[in-house]
């Protein structure tokens, strides 16, 4: 199968010396793609910026104005984690546009696996606020473009941190199913099992918090047992993946214990959620150990396109099984409670 990636856009101007969200991340990811040696099966979607109208589908205009002005004025620290520079506004718009370009190429070919290798990442960005290294919510912008075409979108987020921004943006949208596996407790302090969606989208959010030390088997079982039935009911027409690789055991940002081999399995599982080939696109989120990032992206994309790659053995034996069982119960209780309230409110 062909791999469709975004054309490289120079992101060196978005850098804060010593900050882990750095330009060398993109280089590591791009070398992982090159090492697949896909030849003519590697398609490059031309770089472009997301337009204001495309960004307004998920972000408030006042926030876009503020962010643009902040960067134009030279940038600085937005919060204790998040920075912007003079170049960040343009780079962030290109990061959001890269996802749109990859989806456009996939739709025109009606085939392929999409991979959007950009930074800054996006899944923490709220509709009206930057946070967690994220300025614009790239995967949400892409999902919104598909919603405008009448599609039903599964956003599967396997970054080690909960994608609070994506959850917030689609909280009340019944045409988006947001599924997240993440370490908890951990930044950003959201993503509990009882968060199952807003009034208009009950059961359209699935949060699977995992304990520190959890291994790939727990994460895979959680997706199969907790998320799969909800995904089957939702019947997505597209699968967009917030593909963070900071759940790798070597990553310094968290304590999950996944290996590159686990990410291969996740790629295959994610593909099984799509209605057919040509409907899965991955968006780079976190991943801060460059060697682990390179190996994980290589293994993930290799599995996704059916290439032969060498990956680390899958991890297993860590904690998390009992917690996953509790997640299932808490989720169901929250969904039942919301449905019960809904029935009460609509009663004559």
Partner 1 sequence: MRWTFHEARQPQDDVIVVHAAGLLEHLRSSLPRDVTPPRLLTLARECNFDELHLRWFVDDGDACSVLLRVVAPPLNADLLVLGSRGHGTRPGLLLGSTSLEVVQHATLPVVVVPSPPTRT
∠ at Cα 153 (148, 155), nearest 5°? 130
Residue span 260-289 as binding mask against partner 1, x where in contact by CB under 8 A, dash where not: ----------------------------x-
∠ at Cα 87 (156, 62), nearest 5°? 65
Do the bridges between strand 75-77 and strand 83-85 make them parallel or antiparallel, or are there none, so unpaired?
antiparallel
What is the sign, positive or negative, of the torsion defined by CA atoms of 6, 7, 9, 11? positive
Q: Smallest distance, Å, CB 23 to partner 1? A: 18
Residue 7 or 77 with smaller CB distance to partner 1: 77
Q: Does 291 bind partner 1 (CB under 8 A)?
A: no
- Beta strands of 215-343 (E only): which ranges? 238-243, 280-284
DSSP 8-state assignment for residue 210: E
Q: Which stretch binds partner 1 (CB under 8 A): 112-120, 195-203, 248-256, 310-318?
A: 248-256
**Under 8 Å between Cβ of 236 and 341:** no
Binding residue for partner 1, selected from 9, 89, 115, 133, defined by CB under 8 A: 133
Binding residue for partner 1, selected from 12, 34, 46, 73, defined by CB under 8 A: 73
Binding residue for partner 1, selected from 4, 50, 139, 253, defined by CB under 8 A: 253
DSSP string over 141-161? HHHHHHHTTT--EEEEE-SSS
Q: Which stretch binds partner 1 (CB under 8 A): 41-49, 71-79, 197-205, 303-311?
A: 71-79
Q: Does 245 bind partner 1 (CB under 8 A)?
A: no
Q: Does 132 bind partner 1 (CB under 8 A)?
A: yes
| # binding residues, partner 1 (CB under 8 A) | 31
- In the residue annotation, 124 being an active-site residue is answered as yes
Work out the number of other CB atoms within 10 angstroms of the CB of residue 56. 15
**How far is it, in rounded angstroms, from Cα 184 to Cα 311?**
27
Binding region for partner 1 (CB under 8 A): 19-20, 66-67, 69-70, 73, 76-82, 129-133, 161, 164, 185-190, 252-254, 288
Catalytic residues: 124
């Amino acid at each position: 199968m062909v791999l469709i990636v975004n054309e490289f856009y120079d992101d060196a101007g978005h850098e804060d010396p010593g900050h882990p969200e750095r330009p060398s991340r993109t280089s590591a990811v791009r070398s992982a793609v090159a090492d697949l040696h896909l030849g003519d099966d590697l398609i490059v979607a031309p770089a472009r910026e997301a337009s204001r109208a495309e960004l307004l589908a998920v972000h408030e205009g006042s926030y876009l104005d503020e962010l643009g002005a902040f960067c134009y004025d030279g940038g600085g620290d937005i919060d204790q984690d998040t920075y912007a520079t003079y170049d960040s506004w343009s780079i962030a718009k290109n990061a959001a546009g890269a996802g749109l370009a990859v989806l456009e190429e996939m739709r025109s070919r009606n085939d392929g696996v999409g991979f959007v290798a950009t930074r800054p990442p996006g899944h923490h960005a709220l509709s009206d606020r930057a946070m967690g290294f994220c300025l614009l919510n790239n995967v949400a912008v892409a999902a919104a473009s598909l919603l405008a075409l009448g599609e039903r979108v599964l956003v599967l987020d396997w970054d080690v941190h909960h994608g609070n921004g994506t959850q917030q943006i689609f909280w009340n949208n019944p045409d988006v199913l947001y599924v997240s596996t993440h370490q908890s407790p951990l930044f950003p302090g959201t993503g509990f099992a009882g968060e199952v969606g807003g009034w208009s989208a009950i059961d359209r959010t699935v949060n699977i918090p995992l304990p520190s030390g959890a291994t790939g088997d727990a994460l895979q079982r959680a997706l199969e047992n907790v998320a799969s039935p909800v995904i089957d009911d939702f019947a997505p027409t597209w699968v967009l993946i917030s593909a963070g690789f900071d759940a790798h055991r070597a990553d310094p940002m968290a304590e999950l214990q996944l290996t590159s081999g686990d990410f291969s399995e996740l790629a295959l599982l994610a593909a099984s959620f799509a209605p057919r080939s040509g409907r899965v696109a991955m968006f780079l989120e976190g991943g801060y150990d460059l060697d682990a990032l390179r190996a994980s992206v290589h293994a993930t994309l290799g599995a996704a396109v059916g290439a032969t790659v060498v990956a680390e053995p899958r991890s297993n034996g860590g904690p998390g099984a009992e917690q996953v069982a509790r997640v299932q119960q808490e989720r169901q209780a929250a969904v039942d409670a919301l449905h019960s309230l809904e029935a009460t409110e609509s009663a004559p």
